[in-house]
Amino acid sequence: MVSTYCLTPKAHLKIPTIVVFLLKKLSPFHFHHCKFYSHHSLPFPTTSSLHVKAIKDGSFQNLDVANHLLNVYVKSKNLNHACKLFDEMPRRDVRTWTILVSTFARVGSNGAALELFKNMQNEGIKPNQFTLSSVLKCCSSLSELKIGKGVHGWILRNGVVFDVILENALFYFYVKCEDFGSAKWLFESMEEKNSVTCNIMIGAYLDTGNVDKAVDLFRRQGLKGVSIWNTIINGLMRNGFERIALKLLYEMVKDGTLFNEVTFSIALVLVSLLKDLELGKQIHGRVLLSGIHVDGFLRNSLIDMYCKCGEMKMALKVFEKMDTYFGRNENSIEEVISWSSIISGLVLNGEFEDAFKTFTSMVRKDIDIDAFSITSIVSACASFGVLELGRQVHGLVQKMGHKLDAHLGSSLIDMYAKCGNLDDAKRIFKQTNYMNVVLWTSMVYSYALHGRGREAVQLFEFSMSHGLLPNEVTFIGVLTACSHAGLVEEGCRYFRLMKEVYGIKPGVEHFTRMVDLYGRAGQFKEIKKFIDENGIHHLRAVWRSFLSSCRLHRDIEMAEWVSENLLRCKTLDAGPYVLLSNIYAIKERWEEVATVRRLMQSRGVKKQPCQSWIQIRNQVHAFIMDDRSHPQKNEICAYLYKLIGRLRKIGYSSDGKLVMQDVEKKQGEGEMLLGFHSEKLATAYGIISTASQTPIRIMKNLRICDDCHNFMRYTSQLLDKEIIVRDIHRFHHFKHGCCSCGDYW
């Protein structure tokens, strides 16, 4: 899997001007009651002749006729026209409202459905069982405990007759909102229970980690319909029991229960979790053989499976067929999902430019931009580090009125933080204002990225004291924070806490952060002990981190020893080879230099070129060392040369010891112009292209070297300009000659 953080733009990427375009174009159609669907000027479908006729002959005045027409629009998934009709209707009764509310609920526009429900109540229309169950479904999806409880109260006060459907909806609502007390009470008081009740119960057991109880309840069912198989397999899968889920799937085949489209969908998700492309292809084959109608959802599951298994070619193939499949039925929820799936797939596989392009065509084709696509695109902006585009997408979020839920909030926090704008990340975090582990983890990690260890730790402590359950990613964030801020003791404590209190098994990432923590503090003995104790000699990332600390502390002997260990792990990462060969070169051990080089060749290690990029207006400018492709190269070099001269006068010296760099050694002084590191080129370009007060933000795909770090410090002092550099590990904020990392990275 491609890392989404260390990427390199191909050449000078033109940032699509989509969003500017979007803001102009996407003025939502303001229906009287619901302004959630944008208008698109399709010719009216055949239903419209009915529509016109009804208006002409006056039968439109008849509620039954109008409701019938509304139903037809809704059934043919023509929500725009349904909304328009709804708006034009002279009178509306409970059926009218219910059709729209339940449709919105069905397609997942939960917020819109609830809004409609509110309007309905305001107009004094009394909801019926159908309305109420739809509304409860929305509350379940949105975890709107308060509204749902209100509905429950209303039902009791108004003596609405409970049927099993309404009661199941209510039961499901309490389960989803994790109000298990009320759920239990309701379950026990229910007179009539059916298979759906049982399914919900199984789901609840699974969600609360009672796997045994769930499986037990499942086994106790005599005749098992397809839906109960689906529930148990899905539940197991989503709670980390993928293998058991797979076992049951095979059992289901043996049992002779035919798969329906949901089973296939679940099976495909299971495949993506197991990353078993072969199994995925088999299931794809079975889908085709089964003769089941491949609906939008199923097709999307296929796309998603191929994306998550890294097989973008197949994903795109299925995606492209989508066009012919959907035909004129644009903006159906399935099509919107397929677009967001393909975008997230492209982002997941590091194909950011294609993701941006796809997003653009999505806009051009007037596909609804829902929160899912936005989330993916925001995450692409984060990885790419393009603040301006990210800001525009954020603007779009506000304009379209998407709620800042945990997904969207986290991705926005991450985006601002990774684009170097911690303040805006904090602002978003404040706006979300609720406890969700991913949201809080994003914020903790953002602090860590910017070297604000204390704040990260404080936030983490606060979240724990308020009962938020941290997950493995949260601990990666906290340990990173401790390591960047030199909080050795705290880091060790959290590592123990994670294992002993929260029962989280440390992974490579946690080990690496611990080695980093000791390493930055120069506690090499502790590292060796830690590696031995945990039996992690085989982990390359651990040695890599150790090596960086050797570089930081200029410990050549240790670096040599660590490198040998690392090279034993057969890493294909060029950094350690280059570093080791540089170390040997310094000690003039030329034979060893040659050995390392040969080793690199024989193992096929590719050196990743060091790249830096900067966004100026709507264009990303990428630079590599010795880069002459930029149209303003002469101007850039001339300026850089002049700048370095001025920096020298205030103490900067570029001939500092180049020991222990994991980037290639530079050319000699005489060839200065050719030997500029990419971040210097990007900085120079940034300075000459922006106003003097504008901070410049540079992204790079490798670690920043000592010399460039010095260069940035002096430049920020000389020009009184803020420079923000994102390297592969963290941010460096240069201001008045100092760096936020405290020259310790």
Interface region with DNA, contact rule CB under 7 A, candidates 133-141, 274-282, 357-365, 565-573: 133-141
194 Rama class: left (phi>0) / alpha (psi -120 to 50) / beta: beta
Q: Is 98 in the site for DNA (CB under 7 A)?
A: no
Residues making up the chain, counted from first to last: 745
C-beta closer to DNA: residue 150 or 656 = 150
Contact 420, 731 (CB under 8 A): yes
Determine which residue in the list 8, 379, 701, 717 makes contact with DNA, applying CB under 7 A: 379
Among 87, 93, 295, 323, binds DNA (CB under 7 A): 295
**Among 106, 126, 247, 493, contact with DNA (rule: CB under 7 A):** 106
The answer to whether residue 331 forms part of the interface with DNA (CB under 7 A) is no
* CB distance 351 to 324 below 8 Å: no
Which one, of 469, 468, 458, lies nearest residue 502 by Cα?
469
Answer for the pair 704, 732: CB distance below 8 angstroms, yes or no. yes
Report d(CA 134, CA 140) in Å as an integer. Answer: 10
Stretch binding DNA (CB under 7 A), from 231-239, 423-431, 545-553, 560-568: 231-239
Comparison of 333 and 674: residue with beta carbon closer to DNA: 333
Q: What's the angle, vertex CA 274, arms to CA 272 and CA 278, rounded to 5?
A: 75
What is the identity of the amino acid at 729?
Answer: H
Kind plus residue range of the DSSP H or E element containing 734: strand 731-735
Decide if residue 573 touches DNA (CB under 7 A). no
Which range in 339-347, 388-396, 524-532, 642-650 contacts DNA by CB under 7 A?
339-347
Give the CA distances from residue 621 to residues 330, 391, 632, 634, in Å, rounded to whole numbers and listed in that order. Answer: 37, 18, 11, 15
Span from 3-11, 561-569, 621-629, 656-664 in contact with DNA (CB under 7 A): 3-11
Nearer to DNA, 239 or 611 (CB): 239
* Residue 62 DSSP code: S
Rounded CA gap, 360 and 378, in Å? 14
* Closest CB to DNA among residues 480, 716: 480
Question: Scanning residues 253 to 272, which ones bind DNA (CB under 7 A)?
Answer: 260-262, 265-266, 269
Nearer to DNA, 267 or 593 (CB): 267
Q: Least separation, in Å, of the C-beta of 62 and DNA?
A: 27
The DSSP bridge pattern shows strands 611-616 and 696-700 to be: antiparallel
Alpha carbon separation from 623 to 307, 351, 385, 713, 732 (Å, rounded): 30, 19, 15, 20, 19
The helix (run of H) or strand (run of E) holding residue 322 is helix 312-326
CA distance 460 to 555: 34
Q: Closer to DNA by CB, 374 or 579: give it.
A: 374
Q: Does 230 interact with DNA (rule: CB under 7 A)? A: yes
Kind plus residue range of the DSSP H or E element containing 442: helix 437-449
What is the rounded CA–CA span in Å between residue 245 and residue 279? 14
CA distance 81 to 332: 12
Q: Which is nearer to DNA, 298 or 386 (CB)?
A: 298
Question: Which of 35, 238, 426, 735 forms a contact with DNA (CB under 7 A)?
Answer: 238
Instruction: Please identify which residue in 145, 160, 226, 672 interacts with DNA, judged by CB under 7 A.
Output: 226
Nearest to 240 by CA among 264, 207, 201, 218: 207
**Which C-beta is closer to DNA: that of 441 or that of 717?**
441
- d(C-alpha 335, C-alpha 743), whole Å: 50
Q: 131, 182, 239, 340: which one contacts DNA (CB under 7 A)?
A: 340
HSE-CB at 134 with a 13 A cutoff on CA atoms is: 27
Cβ-based nearer residue to DNA, 285 or 507: 507
Write out the two tokens for 72: 């037809």
Interaction mask 177-216, DNA, x per CB under 7 A: -----------------xxxx-xx--x-------------
Sign of CA dihedral 623, 626, 632, 638: positive
446 to 475: interface string for DNA, x by CB under 7 A: -------------------------xxxx-
Question: Total number of residues binding DNA (CB under 7 A)?
Answer: 82
Helix (H, G, I), strand (E, B) or coil at 156: helix
Stretch that binds DNA, among 48-56, 319-327, 330-338, 679-687 (CB under 7 A): 330-338
468: left (phi over 0), alpha (psi -120 to 50) or beta: beta
**Per rule CB under 7 A, is residue 375 in the interface with DNA?**
yes
* Interface pick for DNA out of 145, 211, 438, 719 (rule CB under 7 A): 438
Going by C-alpha positions, the residue among 611, 609, 608 that lies closest to residue 681 is 611
Interactions with DNA, residue window 673-732 (CB under 7 A): none
Residue 419 near residue 390, CB atoms below 8 Å: yes
Q: Which residues does residue 725 pair with via DSSP β-bridges, in sequence order? A: 698, 732
Told to check if 50 binds DNA by CB under 7 A, we report: no
By CB under 7 A, name the one of 113, 363, 476, 482 that touches DNA.
476
Q: Point out which span in 406-414, 556-564, 666-674, 719-727 binds DNA (CB under 7 A).
A: 406-414
In the sheet that holds 723-726, the strands lie side by side as: 619-624, 611-616, 696-700, 723-726, 731-735, 738-739
How far is residue 145's CA from residue 174's CA, in Å, rounded to a whole number? 8
Closer residue to DNA (CB): 285 or 668? 285
Among 22, 105, 521, 687, binds DNA (CB under 7 A): 105
Interaction between residue 408 and DNA (CB under 7 A): yes
Among positions 482-541, residues that touch DNA (CB under 7 A) are 509
Cβ proximity to DNA: between 230 and 612 the closer is 230
Q: C-beta of 710: minimal distance to DNA in Å? A: 26
Q: DSSP label at 60?
A: G
Q: Which is nearer to DNA, 51 or 450 (CB)?
A: 450
CB-nearer residue toward DNA: 479 or 724: 479
**Which of 8, 67, 78, 133 forms a contact with DNA (CB under 7 A)?**
133
CB 548, min distance to DNA, A: 13
Applying CB under 7 A, does 373 fall inside the site for DNA?
Answer: yes
CB 676 to DNA: min, Å: 28
**Least Cβ distance, residue 408 to DNA (angstroms):** 4
- Closer CB to DNA, 353 or 368, in the complex: 368
131 scored as a contact of DNA (CB under 7 A): no
Is 414 one of the binding residues for DNA (CB under 7 A)?
yes
Distance from chain centroid for Cα 83: 32
